[in-house]
Amino acid sequence: MSILAPARQKVRLARNLLTRKNPPYLIFFVTKRCNLACEMCFNWEDMRRKSQELSLDEVRTIARSFRRLLQLSLSGGEPILRPDLPKVVEAFYRSSRLSLCTLTTNGFFVDRTSDMAEEILRRCPLLQLRVSVSIDGLEEEHNRIRRHPQSFQRAVQTLHKLADLSKRRKNLALHVTTVVGRSNYDKTHEIYDFVRKEFQTPEHTWLFTRGNPPDATTKDFPLEAYAEIIRRVETEEPRGTFFAAGPIRALMASVRETVVNTAATDEMQLPCVAGRKVIVLTAEGDVKICELLEEKGLDPVIANLRDHDYDIGKVLRTPRAREMIDSIAKTKCHCTWECATVANHVFNPKTYPGMLKKMIVPGADRPPLLQIRDRAKASCQPRGPEAGSPID
C-alpha cells in the first residue's frame, strides 16, 4: 500500500457512508454449499433447496448496479467453498467502490482461507477486510455444536494462520464469532478467556441465536447469560490497530445492548432501516428485505435480480419493495438480527452521542444489569418458540 492509502481509504469510506444511491450495506449469501451441519444454523432449510448460484459474470453485473457500497458481508453456506470468492469481492470493490468487507467462516479450510484472504487484499488494496472465524466452545463442545470431530482444531489453526497474515497485511482484521445458544450459554466466559489468551484478537463478536435452527430448543437459554458476557466484553476488550477499531468497538457494544433490550422487552428500540440501508442477496439472486421475516411467517423476498436486469435499483423501485419497506415502519418491526441492528445505529445520527461515550468510557450508558435481569425474568424464560419467544 502507498503512503497515501490510509487517507484514500478514509475518503472512500466517508463517501460510501453518505451515499443515497442504493443500500450501502449488502449481506450476500455467496453459496449454499457447506461442509458442516451446525445445530444453530438459521439457514439450513434454504441450503437444502437446490438452485443455480449466481455466476461470476452475473455478480459483476449486479455489482455495477451498486453505485457505492460501504459494507459487504459474505455468508453462506461456507463462503470459502466458492472458488471465485476473491473475484466476487473484487467485483464490488471495482464497481461499487467497496470500503469494508466481512468474511464469516467456520475456519475448517486452513490454507484455503488464508490464501483467499491474501488474494482478496492483493486484488483490493484499499479494502478493509475482516475475517471472522467461529468458535462456539472449547474443543469437545465446539465439535459437538458444529457436528464434526476436527472443526475446533481446524478453526484454531486457521485463526493462527490469519494472525500471521495480519502482521504483513495491515488492512486485515482478525475476529472471532461465537453464537450464544442453549449448548454454550453457561460457558461463554470460558470461551472468552480462551480466545483472549490464545489469539489476542481485538474483537470477539457475540451473536444471539436467531431464525429457525434445526432444533428449536437451541434458542432456549437465559437472556441474562448473554447480557453478562457482552458487559464483560465491552469493558475488557482491547483496541485493535485497524483504523476504525475504536468506532467499530463502540458501535458493536451499542448493537449488543440493543439486541438485549429488544429480546427482553419485545419492543422496537430503533427504527429499522432494512430495505433502505441494508439488503440481503441470496446465492441464486433473490433480494430479501430481511433475514428473519420467515421466522415470523412472512415472505422476505422482494424479487429475483435475474428478472430485473441484475439491477438492485429496479428491484427496490417495485411496488412490492415499497410496500415491504413501508410495512416495516408502520408495524415497528423489530428483531435481534445484528446486521440490521448495526445499520439501524450507523444510519441514525441520534445514536452517535451514546457511541461516542462508549469510545471514551467503555460501558457508558449501559443499563444496570439488574434491570436487564428483571426484564429477562418477565419475558424470556424460556425463549423457545413453544414458549412464545419475544422475537417470534
Task: State how far the Cα of 311 lies from the Cα of 285, in Å rounded to an integer.
Answer: 11
pTM of the model: 0.88
Q: What is the DSSP letter of 214?
A: S
Instruction: Assess contact for 70 and 102: CB atoms under 8 A.
Output: no
Closest CA to 172 of 114, 230, 89: 114
The C-alpha cell of 141 is what?
Answer: 463442545
* Cα distance between the two ends of the chain: 47
Q: What is the pLDDT of residues 220-265, one digit of tens each?
A: 999 999 999 998 888 887 655 544 567 778 888 899 999 999 988 8
Instruction: Assess contact for 184 and 195: CB atoms under 8 A.
Output: no
pLDDT confidence of residue 373: 54
3-state class (DSSP) for residue 336: coil
pLDDT confidence of residue 246: 74
Task: State how far the Cα of 172 lies from the Cα of 125, in Å rounded to an integer.
Answer: 11
Task: State how far the Cα of 308 lies from the Cα of 312, in Å rounded to an integer.
Answer: 8
Mean pLDDT computed over every residue of the chain: 87
The C-alpha cell of 289 is what?
Answer: 428485505
pLDDT confidence of residue 383: 45
Strand 203-208 vs strand 172-180: parallel, antiparallel, or unpaired? parallel
pLDDT confidence of residue 374: 60
- Total residues found in the chain within this entry: 392
Number of H helices, E strands in the chain: 15, 9
What lies within 8 Å, CB to CB, of 92 at 6+ separation is 26, 63, 66, 69, 72, 98, 101
pLDDT confidence of residue 226: 93
Task: State how far the Cα of 9 lies from the Cα of 334, in Å rounded to an integer.
Answer: 33
| Sheet strands (E) in the chain | 25-29, 71-75, 100-105, 128-134, 172-180, 203-208, 278-281, 286-288, 301-304
pLDDT confidence of residue 84: 98
pLDDT confidence of residue 384: 43
* Alpha helices (runs of H) in the chain, residue ranges in sequence order: 5-17, 44-48, 56-65, 85-96, 110-123, 139-146, 151-168, 188-199, 223-236, 245-265, 312-316, 319-330, 338-346, 352-360, 369-379
3-state class (DSSP) for residue 88: helix
Which residue type does 93 have? Y
Domains of the chain: 5-387 (3.20.20.70)
Those residues of the chain that have pLDDT short of 50 are: 242-243, 368-370, 379-392
List, as one string, the DSSP characters of 138-180.
SHHHHHHHHT-TTHHHHHHHHHHHHHHHHHH-TTEEEEEEEEE
pLDDT confidence of residue 120: 98
The C-alpha cell of 2 is what?
Answer: 502507498
